[in-house]
Amino acid sequence: MKVKKIIGLGLSVIMTAISCNLSFAGEVKLNEEISVVSDSVDLADSLNSFDRYITVKDGEFNDSLSIVIQPMGEVEMDSRITFELENGIFDEEAIDKATSGAGLDYYSYKSLGKQENYDYLKEEFKEYEADMGLEIAFVQVFYERMLAARTVNLPYKLRKISDREMEVSLFALPEVYVNETFAGVSKPKYKIPLPFKATGGGNVKMNINSVNTSIRGGIYTIAKTEGSDEEYTYSTGSKNSVNIKDSLDEYVTVEKGIFNDSLCLIIEPKFQVEMDSEIILKLENGVFDEEDMKNTSGQSVGLSKYDYKALEYYDSYDYLKNEFERLITDKEITSGMAFEQVFYDKMYAYRTVDLPYKLRKISDTEMEVTLFALPGVYAGERFAGVNKPIYRIPIPFTATGGDVSVSLKTEGTSISNSEHIIGKDAGSSVIPLELGDVDGNDGVTANDASLVLNYVLRKDTKGFAEGGLDMAKVTNGNKITALDAASILMKALDVTGDFVFEVELNRPQY
């Protein structure tokens, strides 16, 4: 645990600088979102957020939303919190209809398998605890399971109290594993589904009653009602990277006039993606020349060469979309159940979690990508026993001279903007920098975080490599801030695995 404590100390220093910097810069909103103000016992706390943004109609049932609770203090076994709805109900009839009679049990904990539910794991945990103690029992029960499933979602149990109230029992989380990366995956959290029916009267809100627990309480807006003028802040974010076939490299060497189609953009959403969400890929020093996109016979076929082909040959975007929407309409099931029926068996058989997309050329330098729906319940979660769902988007381009880069425009979606150098000009002496590597030395290191923080505080670019300033912006937002420095440090210490510095975007309203 010594290494983890050292990491924690380093992050505390950065977070202190973040708080000071944001106050100095006047970015009060972000500072408020990061600050932790406890309203529960023992000065413990939790980060509470929601895995998607939804708009609902009065009388409409929705079960695609989950609340994600990341504890900041120890959680005792069977800690109980309650969810109380305003302008919504936990409608038993609607739940039965949506789950084909399974009821609330349909939303029980299944992250480690359908058989390994709350009570089963609790019984095993208690046996280990009696002989080995709390901390070792937690490792014995969860380490190998969570490592294999690539999840750190902790068990919970649901019980309906009334139409407006639901009780949630939480599995134990020992203090030693609070806010620490576990099983090499991430920080332990609870991801709890919220199946509700909107009843009208305004946006749907939920009060978390967490007295005598280490969980944050408060009132949260969980869904915007159509026609409502009430403000609703929502979360966005994705992990974006570039992959080259049969290689770990993130860019290729290019020459002017030479065509390359070996690269793919990998988008791993952290939140729900709406059907037909559109993002734009824009090239610099490269073009989408459809004359260069040829089939095996040497005929130019354009972007159709790169149509979605991860499953059966007939499983095109439009075919799968029609099947998905037909299930929702004809069987009157939720998007989560329709997604499972359309994709589970196929993705399990093909050992892939690549989601459908459609490509359309806008201009020589811009390409539109239309994304298939990803329900919030499956965003960032292992699916079909394979991996977390992703979009794998081909980037077929012809170099026009100089280093080639691609940028993402994602406004109006839950996908993060990002920019990637994908081609190093063969005649260039400048080596493309990795995102976060501002000094150009040995990849992303703690020195890069230090240089970025120094730039934030003093606007000093000493130590930056050519183009290094462009690599400093690793989080959402328009300006380089201490959040970027903190995220780079976390990446350098291998705490997070990516650059998305998650803050609590939907704060409670007291």
Neighbours of 322 (CB within 10 A): 11
Which of 384, 415, 432 is the C-terminal boundary of a domain? 432
Structure tokens given for 175: 């203090």
Domain co-membership, 336 together with 380: yes
Domain co-membership, 121 together with 263: no
Q: Partners of 423 in the beta sheet?
A: 252, 404
Cα–Cα nearest to 156, from 80, 84, 207: 80
Please answer whether residues 491 and 485 qualify as being in contact, where contact means their C-beta atoms are separated by less than 8 angstroms.
no
Does residue 504 fall inside a structural domain?
Answer: no
Domain co-membership, 285 together with 416: yes
Does residue 411 fall inside a structural domain?
Answer: yes
**How confident is the model at residue 289, as a pLDDT?**
93
Task: State how far the alpha carbon of 497 is from the alpha carbons of 452, 491, 500, in Å.
Answer: 19, 6, 9
430: Cα within 13 Å, side-chain hemisphere:
14
Cα–Cα nearest to 204, from 374, 45, 63, 32: 63
Domain co-membership, 212 together with 255: no
Domain co-membership, 126 together with 155: yes
φ and ψ at residue 52, rounded to 5 degrees: -170, 170
Structure tokens given for 363: 């201009």
Does residue 9 fall inside a structural domain?
Answer: no
Does residue 96 fall inside a structural domain?
Answer: yes
Cα–Cα nearest to 281, from 99, 123, 415: 415
What gap in Å lies between CA 319 and CA 208, rounded to an integer?
41
Does residue 291 fall inside a structural domain?
Answer: yes
Domain co-membership, 93 together with 205: yes
The amino acid sitting at 134 is: L
- Residues contacting residue 174 through CB under 8 Å, at least 6 positions apart: 74, 134, 135, 138
What gap in Å lies between CA 410 and CA 277, rounded to an integer?
9
φ and ψ at residue 184, rounded to 5 degrees: 70, 20
Domain co-membership, 188 together with 305: no
Domain co-membership, 192 together with 246: no
- CA 73 centroid distance within chain: 23
**How confident is the model at residue 483, as a pLDDT?**
83
What gap in Å lies between CA 254 and CA 250, rounded to an integer?
13
Domain co-membership, 274 together with 353: yes
Please answer whether residues 413 and 370 qualify as being in contact, where contact means their C-beta atoms are separated by less than 8 angstroms.
no
Does residue 158 fall inside a structural domain?
Answer: yes
DSSP 8-state symbol, 463: T
What gap in Å lies between CA 25 and CA 340, rounded to an integer?
46
**How confident is the model at residue 143, as a pLDDT?**
94
Question: In this structure, what CATH number is given to the domain that contains residue 117?
Answer: 2.60.40
- Mapped to the 3 state alphabet, what secondary structure does 249-298 carry? CCCEEECCCCEECCEEEEEEECCCECCCEEEEEEEECEECCHHHCECCCC
- Tell me the residue range of the domain where 323 lies: 238-432
Tell me the three state secondary structure of residue 206: strand
φ and ψ at residue 364, rounded to 5 degrees: -60, -30
pLDDT tens track, the chain, 510 positions: 333 333 333 444 344 443 333 333 322 222 223 222 323 333 347 888 776 667 888 888 988 888 889 898 899 999 999 999 999 999 999 999 888 888 999 999 988 987 899 999 999 999 999 999 999 999 999 999 998 888 899 999 999 999 999 999 999 999 999 988 898 888 899 999 999 999 988 889 999 998 889 898 888 888 888 776 666 555 556 777 777 765 545 678 889 999 999 999 999 988 788 899 999 999 999 999 999 898 888 888 899 999 999 998 899 999 999 999 999 888 877 788 889 999 999 999 999 999 999 999 999 999 999 999 998 778 888 888 888 899 999 999 999 999 899 999 888 788 888 888 888 888 765 566 778 888 888 788 899 999 999 999 888 888 898 778 878 888 766 678 888 888 888 888 875 556 654 433 333 333
Please answer whether residues 280 and 425 qualify as being in contact, where contact means their C-beta atoms are separated by less than 8 angstroms.
no
Which of 225, 252, 280 is the C-terminal boundary of a domain? 225
Domain co-membership, 184 together with 248: no
- CA 381 centroid distance within chain: 9
Q: How many separate domains does the chain show?
A: 2
β-bridge pairing 165-170 and 79-86:
antiparallel
Does residue 397 fall inside a structural domain?
Answer: yes
Domain co-membership, 294 together with 315: yes
Domain co-membership, 58 together with 193: yes
Let me know the angle formed at the C-alpha of 143 by 142 and 149, rounded to the nearest 5 degrees. Answer: 80
Task: State how far the alpha carbon of 88 is from the alpha carbons of 165, 195, 440, in Å.
Answer: 10, 10, 53
- Mapped to the 3 state alphabet, what secondary structure does 346-410 carry? HHHHHCCCECCEEEEECCCCEEEEEECCECHHHCCCCECCCECCEEEEECCEEECCCCEEEEEEC
